[in-house]
Amino acid sequence: MEILFNILNVIKYLIYALLIIVFVIFIFLNVSPVFGASPDKNTKEIILDIKDKKILSVISQNARMPLTRVAKKVALSRDSINYRIKNYEKQRLIKGYRTIINIAHFGYDNYHLFIKLNNPSPELEKKIIDKLIQKPFIRAVLKFSGKFDLEIAIVANSILNLDKILDEINNSSEQNILDYELLAISKTFTTKSLPMNQSKHEKSNKTKIKKIDKKDIQILNLLSKNAKLPIFELAEKLKLSTDAIIYRIKKLKESGTIIKFIPVINFDALGYNLHVVLLNTNISKEKDEKNLSNFLSKNENTLWAVKAIGKFNVIIYLLTKNAGELQKTLLDLRKFLPGRLNKQELLIAHEQFKYDYFPEELIKNILDFNADQNISDGTITKKSESGLITRNSKVSWIKDQQICGNVFGEILNQVTNFNSHIHLNDIEPLQYSEYGVGQEYGWHKDTHPSPYPNGLIRKLSFTIFLNDDYEGGEFDLEIYGPAAEPRYVEIKKQPKTNCIIFYSDTWHRVRPVTKGVRKSLVGWILGNQFK
């Protein structure tokens, strides 16, 4: 039996899951749209009328909203809306459009590192910052005055990964860090795109790694840079139909991976100053946290506020126009927390040097499948009923249960579409294989002489082709009877991500590779013995 079909999603899910270590701290929406609204002191203040404020409020909820819908909500013509938005962009009130992405869906967590430098010279400070902004795991770098000089937003997918990142940051600072505080973001209290926008951000508990393929990653990457990129441009860049792009974006929004499309507002153009308040409170009960969230949501000066794990357990980003506004906001906060505010630090933001809505580290780990495979020599020589079997490829084993489970589920779905009566129970660890020039695997079956202790056997085998930039390495599958000539089907080089599924007791081989390296993913599905 031969089942030859494209299961694009299987390997794409695998590629993303393989390189993302699942280390999830339960978070709501670990995003900070406040970054991207960098201080720009050379900008003249722009006076907005009521319609301007309403337009900004509407598009801050969805920057991709069609102009006709914006016009209906604001009670202006489409042309008037278009004119005003173009004017905002011309005046640099809107500095771009970005997509807020829930990186928890990729197994990553957000950390904010506040550091105090050893009073470096302006030249050395610039050198340190230049090094930091080149790091793919750093989402943002913000310069302050106050107890801390810099805030660094970090993404990490494990404690070990975080430890490595901190070492790199320390090395980049050239031993100029006097003090630091590392805070892990655990919950979002409130987030807004504009200080005048009073609507609460939709919360989500969806922190499990999502089934997202390579095309989805590419869509997210493009939209993270320009949330208003037209559908037809996305389709052209990704070689997909416009309908496919629309469908994928819809699914990414429904799953909570895409949180929001927002304009990047230049708050200086509106006369606002950005401040960060770090609080150490004794608030721990869910009811108290909810009350604090409601308070911050209603406070018109609060842009973003989160719960954190560390010395400071609340981080608040404030936008105020003057010292009086700032003082009032801080006093209101103290009044709301009588006897519960242990410590407070106020930082004044001066300049932002970087913000990535979709960190380079995350994209790199998802797309660079062969970055760290731990490949070893997979040479075997053994006797069988067909004679001497030889394999001289390189192999690596993938034993992660979630990865194997994702592949098993997808294979099961596809197979049952062809045969609903076949019963499959489990999957073995996956094998990643590389065949270089001259390397091959002679005629063999994947079955064992006797069932496993649980009574299961290798029932189905599959090969997923991971590349097509090689020559030779044909896959031969013997599916015809002894009288047939030839007895096998020659399956030549396949497009990437194509998959062959066949019964495990079928004879098959891989011919010698003549050019390049043949890469594949091999697996075995277990089930009860055939009756």
Residue 435 pLDDT:
93
At residue 370, does pLDDT exceed 50?
Answer: no
Mean pLDDT of the chain: 79
Confidence of residue 174 (pLDDT cuts 50, 70, 90): confident
- Comparing 236-250, 347-361, 461-475, the range with the smallest average pLDDT is 347-361
Q: Any bridge partners for residue 262, and if so which?
A: 98
- Region of residue 232 (left: phi > 0; alpha: psi -120 to 50; beta: else): alpha
25 pLDDT more than 50: no
Structure-model confidence comparison of residues 411 and 227, the more confident one = 227
Residue 17's pLDDT band, with cuts at 50, 70 and 90, is very low
For 176-221, what is each residue's pLDDT tens digit? Answer: 899 999 999 888 888 777 665 433 333 444 455 556 777 888 888 8
Q: What is the DSSP string of 167-178?
A: HHHHHHTTT-EE
> What pLDDT score does 183 carry?
92
Residue 462: which of 403, 517, 411 has the closest Cα?
A: 411
Q: What is the pLDDT of residue 195?
A: 64
Report the pLDDT value the prediction gives residue 511, as an integer from 0 to 100: 93
Percent of the chain with pLDDT over 70: 80
Residue 21's alpha-carbon distances to 9, 15, 209, 211, 401, in angstroms, are: 19, 12, 10, 14, 12
pLDDT value of residue 361: 65
Residue 362: is its pLDDT beyond 80?
no
Residue showing tokens 């495990």: 504
pLDDT in tens, 400-444: 766 777 778 777 777 766 666 678 888 888 888 999 999 999 888
pLDDT tens, residue by residue, 244-278: 888 889 888 888 888 888 888 888 888 888 889 99
Let me know: does 80 contact 244? Beta carbons within 8 Å: no
**H or E segment to which residue 462 belongs:** strand 457-465
Cβ–Cβ < 8 Å for 277, 243: no
Q: How confident is the model at residue 367 (pLDDT cuts 50, 70, 90)?
A: low
Task: Report d(CA 520, CA 144) in Å as an integer.
Answer: 50
More confident residue, 269 or 370: 269
Dihedral sign, Cα of residue 276, residue 49, residue 357, residue 95: negative
Q: Each residue of 306-323: pLDDT tens digit? A: 899 999 999 999 888 888
Domains of the chain (ranges; CATH) run: 2-15+372-527 (2.60.120.620), 23-46+91-210+255-365 (3.30.70.3460)
- Indicate if the pLDDT at residue 369 is higher than 50: no
